[in-house]
Amino acid sequence: MPPHDDATPARPGPDPRRTARATDSAPSPTSSAQPGGPTVRPTGSAPAPASAQPGIGPRPTARATASATPPPPATATASASASPGESPAAPAPPVPTRRPGYRAVFQVREFRVVFVAHLFSLLGVVVSELALTVLVYDLTRSPLLSSLTFALGFLPYLVGGTLLAGFTDRFPPRRILVVCDLFCAGAVALMVVPATPVAALLVLRCAIAVVSPVFNGTRMATLADILGEGDLFVLGRSLLRIVSQSALLTGYAVGGVLLTVLPPRGALAVTATTFLVSALLLRFGTVRRPARAPASGAAGSGLSGTWAVLRDRRIRALMLMFWAPPLFAVVPEALAAPYADRIGVSTAALGLLMCALPVGTIAGELCAGSFLSAATRSRIVLPLAVTGVLPYLLYAPEPGVPLAAAALFLAGATGAYTLGLDAWFVAAVPEEQRGRAMTLMTAGMMTVQGVGMAGAGLAAEFVPVHAVVAGTGVLGTLCLLAAAAELRAAGGDGTGADGRRPKGETGLTGM
C-alpha cells in the first residue's frame, strides 16, 4: 500500500460478544478510569498499565479501572473467555519503567511482524509504480499516459477513503489487512498478463489505490491494539513513516536496478510476490481480533458513518492539522525539475533537491522520537506545524542548490510535529470509530498531496517557479495559523489532558 505513512456520537453499550475484564485493583499513575465509560484515558508519555491496555487478543468493551500510585508489573489480565474461532489474549506489551525508545517498540513481537510486512508491501508499491509507468510508456510512447499512471496513485484515495472507510471497523482487522494484500497481489498479477490492454492497466492501478487507504487506516488502528495508546504507539507510527520516507530515497533506485535485469512485466511479477509475502506474514504472525464495532453500531455505515466522524469538531480539527501541512509541503518537490532547469544545474543537483525534504523528515522524526519526552513532543506540535513551510521563503531570491536544499531540509525536519499529533488523534477518537477515522485521515493526506502538486504546476504556468515556492511559504503559514487556531478552539491541542476528552464528555459536543 502506498507510503504516503466535532461531535462524536455516544459510545455504544457493551458488545455481548466481548467479555469484560475483571476490575484491576493494582494502582496506576493516574486517577482517571479507562475509556468505556464517560471518563478519560490516562495521560502521560507511557502507555496505560498492561491490564488496562488494549490486549493482543479480543478487546473487551469494559476496561479495567485504575487508581493512583505506581504502575503494576507488566502483566496482562486474560479475558474470561474468547469468542469461537478467536485466539486467546496474549500478554500485553511490557510497560517501560522509563521513557521508551524505538528499541522498546521492536521488543513487541507482533509489531516486528507488522514492520516486516510493511517493508514487503511498500516494496511492492514502489516498484510496481515505477514498472507500470515504464510499461505504459513502452506500450504507448505517450508521456501523458505515463504520467497519468503515476498520478492515479493519488486520485482514488479520496474515493476509497470515504466509501470504504466503514469496513475498517465492521470486520476483524487482520482479515481486512490480508484481503487487501491479496487483492493487490491479484491486481498486479493481471498487469503481468501480456494481453492486458493499457486501459485495463490504468483501471487496475486505480483499484489498488482505492483499497490502499483501507489497508493503511486499518494498520494504523491495529497498532494501537498492539502497542497501546501511549508512547509506544507514537513511536511505532513514527517508525513506519520513517520507512515510508526512506522508500522515496531507495525504493525507486531498487526499482531502477530491477528494471535493468528484468522487463517491466517481470518486475511487476516480483511485486506480486511481495504482496503475497506481506499477506502471509500478517495472517500467521498477528493475532485475530474482533471487529471494533458491530455492523449496526452507532457509527453507521457508508457515507453516514463518515459524516458522523467528521461532525466531531475535535476530530475534524485534528484531521485538518494532518492535511494542511502536506498540501503546501509538496510544492517544491513537484517543481524541483522545472526549478533545476531554470537555474541550469545538473541532474545530480536535481536529485539532491528531491532528497532534501525526505532526509529532513527522517532526521526530525528520529530526533523527536529518540530524545524528546512525550510531553515535549506534545508542546512542539503547533509551533513546528505552523512554521513548517516558512523555510520556503528562502526561495524568494531564486537561490542556488545549497540554499534551496537547506530550506527543504529544514521544512522536512519540522515534520516531527506528527509524533505529538498522533498521540492527540488516537486519544480523541472513540475506539469503535478508530479504523474509520484513521482511514479518512490517511486518504485525506494522499489526496491533498495530489491537489498540492497539481496546484503548484498550474501556478508555475503563470509565475516563476521560485516565486511559487516562496508564495507557498506565505500562504501556507497563514493557512496553518488558521488550522492551529481551530484546533485550539476545538480543544484538540492537548491543553486539557493531552488532547483527551474532558471527564464526563461522551455525547455530541461540536458544531
Give the pLDDT confidence of 429-482 residue by residue, as tens digits.
888 888 888 888 988 888 888 888 888 888 998 999 999 999 999 999 999 999
Instruction: With CA atoms as reference, report the closest residue to 39 among 20, 64, 56.
Output: 64
Q: Cα–Cα–Cα angle for 389, 395, 399, nearest 5°?
A: 145
Q: How many CA atoms lie within 13 A of 339 on its CB side?
A: 29
- Write the DSSP string, 284-301: HHS-----SS-TTSTT-S
Please provide the DSSP assignment of 132-156 as one string. Answer: HHHHHHHHH--HHHHHHHHHTTTTT
| Predicted local confidence at residue 8, as pLDDT | 34
pLDDT of residue 72: 40
Q: What is the pLDDT of residue 251?
A: 67
Q: What integer pLDDT is reported at residue 501 of this predicted model?
A: 41
DSSP summary character for residue 429: S
Task: Identify the top-confidence range among 3-17, 106-120, 161-175, 436-450.
Answer: 106-120
Given a cut of 70, whether residue 52 has pLDDT beyond it is no
From 167, 123, 112, 91, select the one nearest 281 (Cα to Cα): 112
Which candidate, 102, 106, 217, places its Cα nearest to that of 171?
217
The more confidently predicted of residues 19 and 163 is 163
Residues ≥6 apart with Cβ < 8 Å to 177: 215, 218, 219, 222, 279, 282, 286
DSSP annotation of 67: E
Q: Pick the closest to residue 444 from 327, 313, 300, 311 (CA basis).
A: 327
Going by the DSSP 8-state scheme, the letter that residue 27 receives in this structure is: E
C-alpha Rg value of the chain to the nearest Å: 23
pTM: 0.69
pLDDT band at 101 (very low <50, low <70, confident <90, very high): confident
Confidence of residue 118 (pLDDT cuts 50, 70, 90): very high
State the pLDDT confidence band at 308, using cuts at 50, 70 and 90.
Answer: confident
Mean pLDDT value across residues 15-26: 36
Confidence at residue 504, expressed as pLDDT on a 0 to 100 scale? 34
Question: What are the backbone dihedrals phi and psi of residue 7, each rounded to the nearest 5 degrees, phi first?
Answer: -120, 115
Q: What is the pLDDT of residue 99?
A: 63
Gap between the Cα atoms of 419 and 434, Å rounded: 17
Dihedral class, residue 141 (left if φ above 0, else alpha if ψ from -120 to 50, else beta): left
